[in-house]
Structure formats: structure tokens, C-alpha cells
Structure 1
């Protein structure tokens, strides 16, 4: 089967696509934003790059940074249209299925072309806030409804998003819930799991902005200062707003607080493998990959639950704690206190997750399900 993937340059996408190596399928990737960078991880895929500009003239990036108005004028004549490029690649490749990743990046922009080739199967993968947040944006919702009505298949990282898609016009075949980037290499990650019985780190995802609500967690920590002296507190992936908040609040006096920007994957997994408690907090998300990573690395999970997505994995007060009010530092402080002062609860939750959730996230096990889903598409051709 020939599969034409439409996605931005994204690690989730590369991890997912790598599952198709040696599958017998011919895989093509049209980089919708044209990053022009070849990706070694998916070297078995024909990567369609360098298509956007007719003439990639010397000094283009310098001109773009210094004179954006002139660059916009030049691009009227110099920039190729995504829909035209997609149509050209469909004619050339003659794919059996087009697979779009993320509605408003790889889905809706392809709709005008897909309407012209109604005999071509169309699959879609929903990630993160793809459905949950953008259904509340009128322009995005209009595009979403029109696009969902044309799609034949859907993958998602949570059951919630399939329900939302059905509500807004998807009548195709749901192929299942999968981690956004496929499964995890448990054999490779297990060596990073340390100090199972003697952990003292509170690990916090540092996203802040449209969806991320790390600052609410930090405000909760301020309320618990007297209880935290014996713990190492680490914030990773911190947004600029988080650095600014820490520097201008009482947290700057916390000698046990460390704040990092983006970390290499191995470094993050090493932290996860030493964390007592993991906290992720946002107002909109799908199934957070970092939550799943915390589970497989043996950390006790605390995670926000927008639209009920996290509750598909975490049962509150059974195998973790759900943050239902992501912008309420008082509620978050109470949950942290509960996690800190109930070691038997933590122990049982971690044991349950390790026995019941972790094995299902093993990469080869997930890959087998993914390949079976693509086989279902192939049988429909």
C-alpha cells in the first residue's frame, strides 16, 4: 500500500512513522511547512522537502528577519501553494491513502484537494488539543466539520477525541487509541529507573502559555514551602514565563528548586526514572506523552484532566491524582499534599501502573496494533 503522510516536522510524527519500517508499505512524507531537513530516523520514507520556494535565494533568512514586509511581497511570487504541491504529489505517487496528522495543520489545508479525488482514502490522526480546544474556535470548527465529513479513518491518542469527531461529523472508521508517537522502548528505558524505594524528586512539566499551566503548580508549591525542604524540585521544558515567575517570586529563595528549558530525551528520562511525583498541568491536551513516560519510569502521576482524556488512564485516588481545576493553586496544593503524605497510596498506585499500564505501552506491542490498523485500511481498497 502506498501511504502519503501529511505532517509538520515533529518528533511524534517521526516516532509514529518509524513503526512502518519493513512493513511492506511504500511511505511518502510531504512536510507541510517544508523544513527542508532530511530526517535520518525515517530514512526509509521518501521525504518531499524543498518544495515551497521557487528560488531559495542567498540571504533569504537575513532578509526575512530584517525586512519582513519585503519578504512577504517577494513570497507572493516566489512561494508555491501547498494545495498545488499536494495535488502534484498525488498525481505523481498515486497513493492508496493520504494520512493527515493534526486537523488544522495536515487536515483542513488538504481538504480542497481531497474533495477532487473522492476515490482516494483519507486517514487522520488527532493529537493533543487538536479536537478539544479547536472545537471552541468558530473558524477552526467550521473547517473541522467540513474536513471530518470527508475523512474515512481516524486514529487518536484518547477516546475523547473520537467522541468529539463523531459529534462534528466524522462517520468513518475509528482505528483506535494509540500513544501519539507509538509505544516506548521499555528495554532501553528500564536502565534509567533508579532508587525505586528512595526517591525524593518532584518533577514538573514547565509548559506555560495558551494551554500549559505550570505557574499554577508553582504557586501551589509556594503554599507548601515548609513541607518541601527535603525534596528536590525540578521543572523541565520551562517556558520564558516560568523562568520570569520563579525569578520574581519567593521561589527564587528555594535552594532545592532547579528550572531547565528543553532537555534532551535521555536526560528527561533519567529525571523521570528518579522522580517520586510527576506533575503535568494544562487547560487543554489529549493524552500527554510525558504522563505515559512518567508511568513507565515509575513516578507517581498527577495530571490535569481536560475533557476527561487523562481519566482514560488515571482513576483518581487509585493509580494517580487528577487535577480538575488547572488554574486553582489551592486545589493543586491539596493534591500535592495528599501525594506527599500518603506513601502507601503512592506505592500501590505505582505498582498498579507498572503491572497494568506499562506493558501495554511497550513499543513492539503498540506497533503490532498500528500495523493491524493499516491492514484494515488496505483491505478496504
Structure 2
């Protein structure tokens, strides 16, 4: 089941396309949330101005001052990074976290300087799932990324941030919210105006693309920001594909990982293709082979027995190992994972497992991309074959 043939890949792409279309109709009949972003139109690369941007990505907060210079997408960025303290990842009062974020903005403004009588426009990219109700309004669906604030779910995040910004007396107005996939698309489109699709694939995964507003049935009547024949960016939230409808070829190893995760039957596509999950799938397979006396003479180690103990970066080392005795793989197994002793056959088998898990992940993501592009082409979204920047992946 780790090896996907052409027929299976085609079925996955067809299922994704069907889920995509269902998700544009309502929120109940698809694993894909297909969230309208209310972002319409396309950057041209000639836009000018100075703006603020804020990105909350996991435990990292990035505050930016972006100067758009026009001239075919030239720009300058002044950026500063902040870390969310561990003791602020959970609690009973969500305002505590929001106040810390606002404090980071205040510190950044002090660093770059401000002018009197000027209110600075700021766009915010949240790493949280948000149900947008407008370009600069939306309610939190979930926080994820290790955060746990029950009082935050259902909150209009922009309204709350505005209130805390005003209390702080900062000259800032939030004019837009977007997630990282939408921002990836728009940032690349400023320098490559033909860009119509953006993908983030790292710790998590997501895709945003342009669709015709008339295809987004869940919008109801055309919004005040878009006509029925204009294009709007849609946030697919494709990490959740296959979570409830068994459209993905899950193995026993995938189901074990999912059952033991903090969010069972949720974000299954993400768990099969990204970040720490790939290393964990490899670890589960290796321990299974050990229990069957097919690997390391049936001997494991505390490191290998620890959930998420096999870092995904180790996969890359093993897959790239071209030496005859797989010495790089030996270093990973014996020095990093503390396996007492390995033979060449053991190392070759570990390399093969890493290859299978990695190739399957690439094929699944490729099938999803193909499905989105197929939908875009049949919907009349231009994707010229000679255009530069039709797709941008942030890895």
C-alpha cells in the first residue's frame, strides 16, 4: 500500500476534485473547507507604498515593514522575529496571547520608527484556521500548532486585535487577514503576475488558488468586493483531505499514527505528507519490522521506541546515501538512534523504507496539485504554459 500505481493516483486526484467542488457549495459535504478569502484581483508588480505585515506561524511571530517599489515587483523588507513563550501556548484567557502579539507589534514599531498623524495599514497572516466573513473579519475555527485556548474558538480575531491595539495606542489598522498559503500566492504574484496558485508544504500543508466567484456557491449573492465573473482566492485547507471519507490509501501504519495523534481523524492528508509525520511513519514501520525479527536482529533502542524520535531530516540523509555500505545511514541508526549494531542489509532496508514513505508523500501532493489545476483549467482560470510563476511552493 505504500506503492501507489497510476490507477490509484488517478482515483485520488478524481476524489480530490470531487471534494473540491463539493466544498465550494457548502461546509458539510466535503473534507475540504474551501474558505473564500474575499481577496480579488491580481497584483501587477507596479503597486507602491509602505505597509506592515504580521505573520503568526506556530511559535514564531514575524513583524515586517514592506516597501513596495513597483518597477516589476521590486520591494524591500525590514523584518524582526519574535518567539511565543512556552507558558503562553495554553490558558483560560485568549486575550493574554493576543496582548503578547500586540506587544510584539509595538516593539517592532519602536524599532523601525513611525510618523505622527499616520495610521499604518497592516495585513495579518494567522497560522490558525479562520472562517473568513470578509477581507478583514473572521472567526477562529481552531488554533492548532500546539496552542490550547478554548476561549479563543469562535472569536472574531480582527475585532479583538483592534481592541487591544487601540488600548495600546498603536497607529495601526488591520486591513486584511489571510493564511500563509494565500500570502505565498500573493507575494510571488507581485513579482510574477501570472501566479494563480500558492502552496505551503513544511510543518503543515495548504493550498490557495484563484477560482471564479460564480463557482463559489457558498458565498450566496455576489459580495460587495467581487462580481459574479471576477476571480477570488480560495483557501482549500487541503490538509484535511481524506479525513472522514477514506479517499486516501491509508495503511495500518498511517492509522496507528492517526489514532495516537492529538487530533485523530483530522488532517489525514497532512499526516501522510508533511513535517514530523513522515519521520514518525518511518519509525512506526521500523519498529514493526523489528517486532517481526526482520530488522536489527529484533533489537530496538529507547530513541527508536520514542514517538517522533526518528526526525524527518534523517529520511533525507538515508535516501541520499549512495555509499556501498550505506555509511551515512549507519551514522543515523547507530549514532543518532542508538541502535547497538547494524549490518549493510539493515541499512539498505531502512533506506528503502524512507524512499517509499517519501515517494508516496510526493505522489499524494502531486495528485492534489493536479486536481486543483484541472479544476482551474475547466473553470476558465488562465494558466498559460509560457507564463513564469504559475505555481509557487514554500518548502
Question: What TM-score do the two structures reach when normalised by structure 1?
Answer: 0.32
Structure 1 or 2: more strand by fraction: 2
User: Taking CA–CA contacts closer than 8 Å with sequence separation of 6 or more, which of the two structures ends up with the larger relative contact order?
Assistant: 2
Structure 1 or 2: more helix by fraction: 1
